[in-house]
Structure 1
Amino acid sequence: MIGNKIGKYKIIELLGSGGNANVYKAKDIEGNLFAVKVLKVGKYPAFNKKYKRFKDEVQVVKSNQTAISGIVPIIECFLPPDPFKNTPWYSMPIATPLAHIINDDSSMYDIMECMEQLSSTLMQLHENGIVHRDIKPNNLYYYNDKWAFGDFGLVEYPQKTDLTAKGESVGPKYTIAPEMKRDAKNSDGKAADIYSLAKTLWILLTGEKAGFEGQYSDGIEKFNISNYRGKGFFVSLHELIEKCTSNIPSERLDIIEFNKVIKEWFEISQDFKRKNLLEWNYIFRKILPHTSPEVIVWTSPDDIVHLLDLISKIDSLNHVFVPGGGGLDLTKCTLSNELSYIELHFDYSIKKLMPEKLHLITFADAPEWNYFYLETKELHPTGLYGNQERYYEPVLELSPGVYVEPYHKYYGEVDGQPIPKDAREILLSLKGSFAFFAKGSTYNTISATYDGRHNNMTSNAFHDHIKEMIRHQQWTNENPDKARRIRQEKKERERAQREIERKEYERLKKDLKSKWEEIVSSVKMPTPPQQTIPGEVYFTIEMNDQYFENVYYVSHDNKLIIDSTGNLERVLHGRIDAKELLKIYDFNECEDYINMLNDLLFNFDGSDKIANRLYFDVDMHRVKKPAVHFTKDELTELLINANDKIYNRVVIQTDGNLRLITEEMDHVQPHGFVYKGWEFSAFENSLGKKSNLHHIDDIYFDLLSGWCFHLECNRRASRLSNEYYMGLSEEQLLEKIRIASEQYSK
């Protein structure tokens, strides 16, 4: 046929071949491309039936293609009385086969959009009494910006001459309904279409082109669509495909119901609470398919793991309220490596525990409140943390039941022995109970429930507590006006109470302000240090009084001066003469002076209320060129010789030397250093003899940045100074430091 003409079309290439016909790509005299379906003609007993079906296909498509847009239309046809003299054919526009668009990488949304359009079209066909009887992926196309059915070769429609013989099998190989295999003549074609469409949906979602045998069940691992798709909303699809692949045609949904489920899928997928609660109730129906007792209890670790793992397999389904307060999402539940233990897996931790009982609690009239309650056996502490009272202990598990402190992982050894490759960090749960609710449940939306209340009650008491919460919610829903009035009255009482507290606060503040101003105006300032030789830098003192929103500075003549401009930035911007400020050239003396000010200013009633809102700020200003500049070798030596079993912080002193601080500093102390640099927690092997100092380049660059900022801006640096020098090399930064140093006198 290639190169031949058929009607006004020249055949270009073969597009596909079936049992009854071939489909070719062709073009007309104007060069427009079309698809031409050509009947396979042959003198064999079944040919007459095939030709009649070919003509039926043409008739049903041409009769409905104007009113129904979701079918690939027929443009021209040739149906001769004697097909042996002239070959029958019809032409169609070129449509894109489904397989060219939908594949394993297609999103679930795209597949469901395809299915929604096809089911809408099938609904129109069924309304007109038309059944396709050959629904499968290969007969689906994308045409004119819409998904469409093609290949109506097995179509049935009203007034059609019945061509199906008794006992004849009619339908697509992988999606055919079982009754169509046995006796298509006496089977309901509409129910068969539903079966085939549901199987087609499964194929598109899983990518398994051969489909599956029998009725769908999500309990069969190789059938379950969620095992192929991962994240997504599957509950309504599990039920849809299961019902529509029933071996009993009358149990299947009709096309109107099918289409409704598909449309609702889009709505539910975008509504987290509705989706979540449907998924939650679906799990409970799987556990209790036929009965709904209020309370069930399991004690076997195997049963407990099976049940909790069920609720962890659906993405964002559950939220677990833990013993000490707060909550986490369970991502997996497994048996542990020790007999009688199980493990709860969360995003960033594993809790190992010994279960006592798992309670499943259901509420027939309020299923969103259904929950699991896990009681655990109390375990003895490991001894790694002394006698501290705690719900769990962070440990490094070397082997089942053998635990050490987690910090050993940083050293790779314990008592000189290498840590096993399968060692892991876990949280060993010593006691307490866990409550598992739907993530979208009302209980999970109440912030107060994160207080660990479930752990402070028995399982029965917590059950009663939830019942009371349900009753309150139901009463609120039934009496919205009363509930609104009660809420409003509560808000009014709270507002009135706040107003009383505000007035009392203002009265107290006014009284305190009067006393404060009296003290400030009459305070005899302590004698400042008498310095004659300037150091590398001088320090200035500023007091911030947040309670009364005043700022003061200490003047050169030793007075406390109120300053409305805000802070010591005014010195750098020339809004106040630096000569007016008290300068102290030794930080220790500056700190002593502040302590004396503290003693003077907090000596009256109500001072605690002021003390919590008053602090002294110190700013440093360089006078002399630094004596030295630290090097990377000096930094390396300092860190290698450090004791990593204690807290450390590397700082830059005013003379340019590095120093390690091994204790936490109060608010004022950091002001004594040019830069309060890198912090090292204890037992992390980030410094010391065993550390490889893999982070030395980052630390060095950070310290250089702080040092450069100080020299360029004549002030103490903060961690934010790094941002000024991002993108510079070490060499460029060192050159900037050299230039900045030259601005200071010897």
Structure 2
Amino acid sequence: MSTKSEQPQLGSRYGNWTLIKRIDGGGNADVWAGRNSESRTVAAIKILHNLGKEPLSRFSNEIKALRELGSLEGIVPILEYDFPEAKGSRPWYAMPMARSSEAFLKNTDAKAIVSEFVRLGETLAMLHAKKFAHRDIKPQNLLALNGRLCFSDFGLVKYPDLSPVTPERRDVGAKFTMAPEMRREAAAADGLPADVFSFAKTLWIFLTGKPLSFDGPYAAESSVGLKNFMPGQYTTTLDVLLSDCTKHDPVARPRIAEVVERLQYWLRVIDDNALKNANQWAEFAQKFFPHQTPEQAVWTDVNAIVDVLNEIGRVPGLNHMFFPSGGGMTIEEARRAPEPGFIELHTGYVTLLKPAKLSFSSFRQDPKWDYLRLEAAPVDPTGHYEVEADDYFEYLSELNPAQYAHPDVVEYREEHERELPAGSRSITRYLRGSFVFFSTSSPYNQDTSTYDARHEQMSEDEFREYMRRNATRVRSRPRK
């Protein structure tokens, strides 16, 4: 049974503090703004109103924890406190006045939010090094003080010298950020991996702007995936991190120090296009080869070839395609073409070819050396104009699906005021040759001399050996 004493009210005195305004209240305590009678400073005064055995014990543990942590950066510190022994007296403590995390992070971008969570994670790492588990990480318990986010409300804290409070089979924490083991039996659960779980879910709340977190582990491809809330932004490393942090098995979650490192890495990636591109290229391989990247893989099915090419085409700037006739463009999309057995590649204009096979090559070291090679099957020209024996392609007008005409029909239709079928377009139809695809940050793409179509002057095996020699040479070059 809780024991209630007189309610605090405007003008009530707690130590040197006079209450001037009620700020907030919960099931066990109220928070007031109080003015110091000597310094005239204003602080937040947390006053326990539920004087039952468990709330009293938790409040005592909270004060002890805050005293032991002292002025640790990233913690809202305790300024003054009183824990009277007299029955019915209200324990309280004063802390600096701070802003809510919601107000502090309002209208900030993902980079600013992650940067704040890096600092929070560094503080949590220091807490965990002392074997302190917060166990109640959620937006409401993060406050802004001295220009940064800080942890507050240590009412559920657990640390080595803690007086046991939580009864068996009692859950502990905020329901929407709580780790599953804290739901099952908080008293026996390890609070450190539980903090990692809650930390990740709280980060998701701020990145998405949603008031409540998702249930269970994070799934990037579901409706809670960050890409649904951060369109156009690179999220993959964050997706993997959130997935790892919210695993059901506490042992499988990363430690908070690793979480911080991975958040810092994401911040580097989004500011470095080459690094981001290298990650995206590696992720392409991981999607098709999740267990181990092979040295070679081959696709001959036309639909499969289209799917693979679309995987690199869906990310702006991920790839660069080198033509057998020289030069290069970035592929944006691949489709089945109306002409049987053909595909069309969109690069700002339309390229048609009949694929013989698409091959993937890797040297199992730095993914920036990996590449795709697309072989075009030899086809006869359409005959709409004469082509030379060594020509790689023909320019055409496509009036209806797979119905071709001389290139001038579309190119000069405005000049001749000709009305053509809807969807008429200019195309380039390849008669033979091979195309190669590299990451835009790859050494091959960074070397402008490779636009000479050297890959076409070599067989598939010869080009692979050429690339292997270059990759090996760079790998074995001594570091300065």
TM over 0.5, yes or no? Answer: yes
Give distance in 1, aligned partners of 2:384 and 2:70: 78
Q: CA deviation at 1:390?
A: 4.9
Describe how 1:590-739 pairs up with structure 2 within 5 A. none
Q: In the alignment, is residue 9 of structure 1 matched against residue 18 of structure 2?
A: yes
What residue is the counterpart of 2:58 in the other structure? 53
What's the CA shift string for 1:448-503, capped at 9, x where partnerless?
A: 2111122333333322322233344345x15x89xxxxxxxxxxxxxxxxxxxxxx
Distance (whole Å) between structure 1 residues aligned to residue 416 and residue 235 of structure 2: 45
Contact 1:131 / 1:156 at 8 angstroms: preserved in 2?
yes
C-alpha deviation, 1:49, in angstroms: 0.9
2:67 matched residue in structure 1: 62
Which residue number in structure 2 is paired with residue 705 of structure 1? none
Secondary structure of 2:311's aligned partner: helix
Kept in 2, the 8 Å contact 1:392–1:431? The answer is no
Q: 1:156 to 1:387 in 2, by over 3 A?
A: same
CA distance in 1, matches of 2:382, 2:375: 20
Which of the two has higher C-alpha Rg?
1
Give the Cα–Cα distance (whole angstroms) in 1 for the partners of residues 366 and 295 of structure 2: 12
* Amino acid paired to 2:31: V
Question: Quick one: structure 1 residues 98 and 341, their matched pair in 2 at CA, closer, same or farther if it must change by over 3 Å?
Answer: farther
Mapped to 2, the partners of 1:337 and 1:53 lie a distance apart of 72
Tell me, yes or no, if structure 1 residue 256 matches structure 2 residue 257. Answer: yes
The change in CA–CA distance for 1:158 and 1:300 in structure 2 (over 3 A counts) is same
Cα offsets for 1:295-351 (capped at 9, x unmatched): 1111223322332232234443322212222222233444556665444333x3343
Instruction: Find the counterpart in structure 2 of residue 532 from structure 1.
Output: none
Deviations 1:27-53 (A, max 9, x none): 4557643323333437xxxx3212221
Q: Closer, same or farther in 2 for the Cα pair 1:92/1:471, shift >3 Å?
A: closer
CA gap of 1:366–1:160, structure 2 versus 1, over 3 A, is closer
Distance 1:70 1:469 in 2: 49
What is the CA–CA distance in structure 2 between the aligned matches of 1:54 and 1:335, rounded to whole Å? 67
User: For the structure 1 residues 276 and 341, does the alpha-carbon distance in structure 2 shift closer, same or farther, using more than 3 Å as the test?
Assistant: same
Question: Who is 2:243 aligned against?
Answer: 242
**SS of corresponding position for 1:461:** helix
Per-residue deviation, 1:125: 0.6
CA contact (8 A) 1:381 1:430 kept: yes
Q: Which residue of 2 aligns with 1:137?
A: 139
- Please tell me whether the aligned partners of residues 436 and 455 of structure 2 are also in contact (alpha carbons under 8 angstroms): yes
Q: Give the superposition deviation at 1:354.
A: 3.7
Residues 1:154 and 1:247: Cα distance change in structure 2 (over 3 Å): same
Residue pairs, 1:426-441, within 5 angstroms:
427-441=428-442
CA distance in 1, matches of 2:416, 2:230: 39
In the other structure, the counterpart of 2:369 is 369
**Cα distance in 1, alignment partners of residues 243 and 416 from structure 2:** 53
TM-superposed deviation, 1:129: 1.3
Equivalence for 1:357: 357
Shift in Å, 1:204? 2.6
Name the amino acid aligned to 2:138.
K
Give the aligned partner of residue 589 of structure 1: none
Secondary structure of 1:256's aligned partner: helix
C-alpha displacement of 1:359: 0.7
Cα 1:57/1:450, change in 2 over 3 Å: same
* Corresponding residue for residue 329 of structure 1: 330
Q: Which amino acid aligns with 2:62?
A: E
Higher-helix-fraction structure: 1
**Segments of 4+ moved more than 6 angstroms:** none
Deviation at 1:192, TM superposition (A): 0.7
- State the Cα deviation string for residues 703-730 of structure 1 (Å, max 9, x = none): xxxxxxxxxxxxxxxxxxxxxxxxxxxx
> Aligned pair in 2 of structure 1 residues 207, 400: CA closer, same or farther (>3 Å)?
farther
Looking at structure 1, the residues matched to 156 and 456 of structure 2 have their Cα atoms a distance apart, in angstroms, of: 65
The SS at the match of 1:54 is helix
- Match 1:33 to one of 16, 32, 42: 42
How many angstroms does 1:352 deviate by?
4.2
Residues in 1 aligned to 2:10 and 2:337: alpha-carbon distance in whole angstroms: 70
Task: Tell me how far apart the structure 2 counterparts of residues 350 and 138 of structure 1 sit (CA, whole Å).
Answer: 53
> Which stretch shows the higher mean deviation, 460-469 or 170-179?
460-469
Secondary structure in structure 1 of the residue aligned to 2:229: helix
Structure 1, 243-252 or 24-33: larger mean CA deviation: 24-33
Distance change in 2, residues 1:145/1:433 (3 Å): same
- Per the alignment, residue 684 of structure 1 pairs with none
CA distance in 2, matches of 1:385, 1:271: 47
Deviation per residue, 1:590-634 (Å, 9 max, x gap): xxxxxxxxxxxxxxxxxxxxxxxxxxxxxxxxxxxxxxxxxxxxx
TM-score for the superposition, normalised by structure 2: 0.85
8 Å contact kept, 1:194–1:254: yes
Decide whether the 8 Å contact of 1:231 with 1:315 is kept in 2. no
Residues 71 and 149, structure 1, Cα contact 8 Å, conserved in 2: yes
Cross-structure match for 1:566:
none
Matched residue, 2:191:
189
Aligned amino acid, residue 261 of structure 2: K
Structure 2 contact 360–371 (Cα < 8 Å) conserved:
yes
Match of 2:18, as an amino acid? Y
With over 3 angstroms needed to count, the CA separation of the structure-2 counterparts of 1:391 and 1:175, relative to structure 1, is farther
Aligned residue in 1 for 2:31 = 23
Distance 1:302 1:81 in 2: 77
* Aligned pair partner of 2:77 in 73, 88, 94: 73
Query: 1:268-307, aligned counterparts within 5 Å?
Result: 268-307=269-308
Secondary structure at the aligned position of 2:297 is classed as strand
Flag the 1:460–1:72 CA change in 2: closer, same or farther, 3 A. Answer: same
* Cα distance in 2, alignment partners of residues 423 and 82 from structure 1: 90
Aligned 1:88-103 pairs, distance under 5 A: 88-103=91-106
Preserved contact between residue 171 and residue 183 of structure 2 (Cα < 8 Å): yes
Cα distance change on mapping 1:139 and 1:329 into 2, 3 Å: farther
CA displacement 1:681-703 (0-9 Å, x = unmatched): xxxxxxxxxxxxxxxxxxxxxxx
1:148 shift after superposition:
0.9
Q: Which 5+ residue runs of structure 1 have no aligned equivalent?
A: 482-746
Report if the CA contact (8 A) 2:27-2:50 is conserved: no
Q: CA deviation at 1:83?
A: 6.5
Partner letter of residue 435 of structure 1?
Answer: V
Tell me if structure 2 keeps the 8 A contact 1:70–1:118: yes
Identity of aligned residues (%): 33
User: Judging changes above 3 Å, is the alpha-carbon distance between structure 1 residues 342 and 206 closer, same or farther for their aligned structure 2 residues?
Assistant: farther
Asked whether the equivalents of residues 133 and 156 of structure 1 are also in contact (C-alpha less than 8 Å), the reply is: yes
2:84 is paired with a residue whose SS is coil
Quickly say closer, same or farther: Cα 1:454–1:168, change in 2 above 3 A. same
Q: In the alignment, what sits opposite 2:5?
A: none
Match of 2:149 among 128, 147, 150: 147
Counterparts of residues 165-204 of structure 1 (less than 5 Å): 165-204=167-206
- TM (norm. structure 1) is 0.57
What SS does the corresponding residue of 1:186 show, helix, strand or coil? Answer: coil
Distance between the aligned counterparts of 2:234 and 2:295, measured in 1? 27
Q: Could you tell me which residue of structure 2 aligns to residue 499 of structure 1?
A: none
Residue 317 of structure 1: aligned partner: 318
- Counterpart contact for 1:323–1:391, Cα < 8 Å: no
Q: 2:63 is matched by which residue type in structure 1?
A: V
Q: CA deviation at 1:428?
A: 4.5
Structure 1 residues 202-601: aligned runs within 5 Å:
202-218=204-220, 220-335=221-336, 340-346=341-347, 348-381=348-381, 387=387, 389-391=391-393, 393=395, 395=397, 399-402=400-403, 405-407=409-411, 410=414, 414-415=418-419, 419-420=421-422, 427-474=428-475, 477-478=477-478
Contact 1:268/1:275 (<8 A) preserved? yes
The SS at the match of 2:81 is strand
Q: What is the CA-CA distance between 1:121 and the residue it aligns to?
A: 0.3
CA distance in 2, matches of 1:207, 1:409: 51
- The answer for the alignment partner of 1:609 in structure 2 is none
Q: Structure 2 vs 1, CA of residues 52 and 319 (structure 1 numbering), >3 Å: closer, same or farther?
A: same
Return closer, same or farther for 1:452/1:28 CA change in 2, 3 Å cut-off. Answer: same
- Name the aligned partner's letter for residue 94 of structure 1: M
**1:267 shift after superposition:** 4.0
Q: Cα distance, 1:149 vs. partner?
A: 0.8
Work out the CA distance in 1 between the residues paired with 2:69 and 2:133. 13
Q: Is contact 2:285–2:293 with CA below 8 Å preserved after alignment?
A: no
